[in-house]
Amino acid sequence: MDDNDVLDRLRSVEDPDLGDDIVSLGLVNEVSVDPDRISISLALGAPYSPTETQIAADVRETLSDLDREIDLSARVESGLSADEQVLPNVENVIAVSSGKGGVGKSTVAVNLAAGLSQMGARVGLFDADIYGPNVPRMVDADQRPQATEEEVIIPPEKFGMKLMSMDFLVGKDDPVIWRGPMVHKVLTQLWEDVEWGHLDYMIVDLPPGTGDAQLTLLQSVPVTGAVIVTTPQDVAIDDANKGLRMFGRHDTVVLGIAENMSGFICPDCGSEHEIFGKGGGKAFAQENELPYLGGIPLDPSVRTGGDEGKPIVLDSDSETGNAFRVLTENVANNIGVTKRQQQSQR
């Protein structure tokens, strides 16, 4: 048994999204065969995503009859030098965006981050909404950031997530009245002067619209992909389309469309009411040939969880929590597709 024998076996492992085997796609970085161990480095870039977890399981199954330990690792090269990397220890940066306010973007960002953390991933949640930061309330984070002697900020943690928000740095009721250059400066400092450590995912909750914070992120940080949040109604879809065009102009992958407030299920009678309409987000995704990440119902428990700092995705008995878990898995899977496509094209 040598390296080529192992590669021949791995040709039977299919990538379900890209439609070919992992060897032909260039997803096997390296194979090393020792008398007691086979070490394999795979180009998988979405930790804990269901699809990539299954690919790794298929690799193990393919080699299971060999009397050797199977040691798997995952690595995707960024293509950037160490000097060019703004967040060298962050594997994936996910921007959560909306064209307009009031569609539940922060709710989706918080539950996405908490859902990834619940899956086992190392997660950072960056509240980049300079003018209306509310992530700390939504996760009940009352601990303030600390600083080292070198003036590096140590972010607080909640639900296994490292947190950073402008809300930590200003008075509770103080308005933030800044022009564009100040927004750029503070966001850049918060990315670069925070001890994030090694993260599988950083979720960035952007303010509504297509303004200074969005431009700073897209021009300064290697964003893996964006999630666009909308409600079913036409006015929200119109604004979501503007956000889609913004990401397109900056060559940023859109991981998919999330439809929030997708129908209200009456807790008393069980009937469904389409208060904001239904299906607009799904139709928008189809029209633009984008993945539809799922619909989140209009559920009072989401509001309660946000006010009390308990993300509903962590409630294993909640149907709405399950909708967020499905969305989380879809986002992770689509990051994997994006990373593996990029690898196979090199």
Q: How many residues does the chain have?
A: 346
Bridge partners (DSSP) of residue 162 are 124, 157
What is the per-residue pLDDT across 7-44, written as a single tens digit (0 to 9) for each?
Answer: 999 999 999 999 999 999 999 999 999 989 999 999 99
Predicted local distance difference test score (pLDDT) of residue 219? 78
Close Cβ partners of 25 (under 8 Å, ≥ 6 residues apart): 15, 18, 340, 343, 344
pLDDT(125) > 60: yes
Q: Enter the pTM of the model.
A: 0.90
Find the helix packing angle between 300-308 and 105-119, rounded to 10°.
70
What is the rounded distance in angstroms from the CA atom of residue 178 to the CA atom of residue 326? 38
Residues making up the binding site? 99-106
Closest CA to 128 of 170, 183, 89: 183
Taking residues 275-299, report their average pLDDT: 85
pLDDT(84) > 80: no
Which residue is it, tokens 């002697």?
149
Domains, the chain, ordered by start: 3-74 (3.30.300.130), 93-344 (3.40.50.300)
Which residue is it, tokens 């090393």?
32
Predicted local distance difference test score (pLDDT) of residue 103? 86
**Confidence class for position 139, pLDDT limits 50, 70, 90:** very high
Predicted local distance difference test score (pLDDT) of residue 149? 84
Which residue is it, tokens 């799904």?
282
What is the rounded distance in angstroms from the CA atom of residue 130 to the CA atom of residue 215? 13
Predicted local distance difference test score (pLDDT) of residue 276? 60
pLDDT(113) > 80: yes
Taking residues 164-173, report their average pLDDT: 72
Closest CA to 6 of 19, 23, 26, 25: 23
**Residue 94 CA from chain centroid, whole number:** 4
pLDDT(140) > 80: yes
pLDDT(211) > 70: no
Residues making up the binding site for ATP? 99-106
